[in-house]
Amino acid sequence: MPGTLTEVTATAADGTPLRSWLVLPEGGSGPAPLLLWIHGGPLGCSNAWSRRWNPWLMAAHGYAVLLRDPALSTGYGLGFVARGWGAWGAAPHTDLMALTDAAVARPDVDADRTAAMGGSFGGYMANWVAGHTDRFTAIVTRASLWALDQFGPITDDAGYWVREMTAAMAEDNSPHRHADAISTPMLVIHGDRDPPRTHRGGAAAVVGPGVAPRGRPGGAPAPVPVLPDENHWILTPSNATVWYDTVLAFLDHHVLGKDDRIPDLLR
């Protein structure tokens, strides 16, 4: 592997022990820029292999990747899941921030060059993070949830979400209600065949506030690549290549300060 793997732990505001894995790149001339990766689900954990979200590919480009398990993560008991049930914007968010604090306190991580990234529920949380902190220099959100009052009734498994997503829950935990606070540059990616799961309209809605948030002169750029032949996933190798090249171009510019570029594969 092009790097090493170590464990980073923290303590939640309610005293719950928190766990994450930190992928560190080999060598380098100083502390590594950090990518906070947020898993989907929301019931899931960061121990599954994925071609689409493979931290070692980012380590090969010099990034450290934090694979964290906040509230709602599986593998830590039902009580750990219950901490975030029906309150996605509460413990899951504060857990992520506590683990990020622990990671950037390390001498081998650069606290001034960080980004948050996620897909599906991870994309929801990336949108939530964008509206609640400006600590990250860039945010990538893919196949994400933006307005929960729209998501619940139209998703392909509405019967599942009705057990958790009441009208009050959707109102209290919807990222779109915090659009005015977004100032971080965002990259929004969606599959054009995804409407049954998170629907492209949600991705498009992020762009309005993302391009020029009200009350933020100049705004934060929010380019939106759409993969026309992908659904909720990125299944074909060629699209995975486009995905990584697009994400790396965005991160290299906003996190590393390199010249902005359009990936050759998108031309």
Give tens-digit pLDDT for 34-72: 999 999 888 989 887 777 789 999 999 999 999 999 999
pLDDT greater than 60 at residue 178: yes
Q: What percent of the chain has pLDDT over 70?
A: 87
Look at residue 266 and tell me if it is in a domain: no
Look at residue 261 and tell me if it is in a domain: no
Higher pLDDT, 155 or 210: 155
Look at residue 249 and tell me if it is in a domain: no
Within 107-264, where are the H helices? Answer: 121-130, 148-154, 158-161, 167-172, 200-211, 237-254
| Contact (CB, 8 A) for 43 and 85 | no
Identify the bridge partners of residue 67 per DSSP, sorted by sequence position: 21, 37
Strand bridging mode 17-25 / 3-11 = antiparallel
Q: How far apart are CA 45 and CA 29, in angstroms?
A: 32
What is the pLDDT at residue 159? 73
Report CA-CA distances (Å) from 31 to 8, 24, 111, 115, 173. 16, 10, 9, 15, 35
Q: How far apart are CA 104 and CA 10, in angstroms?
A: 12
| Contact (CB, 8 A) for 186 and 222 | yes
Look at residue 128 and tell me if it is in a domain: yes
Look at residue 90 and tell me if it is in a domain: yes
How many folded domains does the chain comprise?
A: 1
Within the chain, where are the H helices? Answer: 55-59, 78-82, 91-104, 121-130, 148-154, 158-161, 167-172, 200-211, 237-254
Look at residue 18 and tell me if it is in a domain: yes
Q: The tokens of 29 are what?
A: 């001339």
What is the pLDDT at residue 211? 40
CATH number, domain at 43? 3.40.50.1820
Q: Judge if pTM exceeds 0.85.
A: yes
Task: Name the least confident of 91-95, 212-216, 242-246.
Answer: 212-216
What is the domain range of residue 160?
3-232
Look at residue 265 and tell me if it is in a domain: no
* Dihedral (Cα; 81, 83, 87, 91), 10-degree rounding: -110
Look at residue 104 and tell me if it is in a domain: yes
Give tens-digit pLDDT for 82-139: 999 999 999 999 999 999 999 999 999 999 999 999 998 999 999 999 999 999 999 9
